[in-house]
Amino acid sequence: MMKNMTLEITTPAVLFPTVSLLLLAYTNRFLALTAIVRQMDSSGEIEHEFYQVKNLRKRLKYIKRMQYFGVFSLLLCAVSMLFLFFQINFIGYISFGISLVSLIISLIFSLLEIQISLEALRIHLNYNENDNEIKKKNK
């Protein structure tokens, strides 16, 4: 199967802009999350805060993993190009394949983080909705 497959040095190079933009998006998500953590106020309802903190910890863990796998993918892509340049094709194929798998894992963690982010918004909206109802009743 590998004997018929050809992988040019330019093939892994195609992933460079994609992975670079992906890492930039991941960094933006991380920065947004750190801003939320820094602005957290502990004067609210304990249960609400517990769920939000738990949610934020999980999101940070996933963002860390998606960044690690994204960087690993980019690194292996470069290693693949290096081996292909020196015509060590088998190792070039293997490192490119692992690079693609790492990119897929990174994207899966990204999807999981997005799902958790949506859950955090749901928790926040429910809390605000309940808080507004209580304030209306007290007026």
Report pLDDT digits (tens) over 90-106: 999 999 999 999 999 99
pLDDT of residue 4: 64
Positions of the chain with pLDDT under 50? 1-2
Residue 40 sits at the vertex; the CA angle it makes with 34 and 41, to the nearest 5 degrees, is: 165
CA gap 58, 139 in Å, rounded: 38
**Can you give the pLDDT at residue 78?**
92
Cα torsion angle, 58, 75, 26, 34, sign: positive
The pTM (predicted TM-score) of the whole model is 0.77
Furthest-apart CA pair in the chain: how many Å?
A: 78
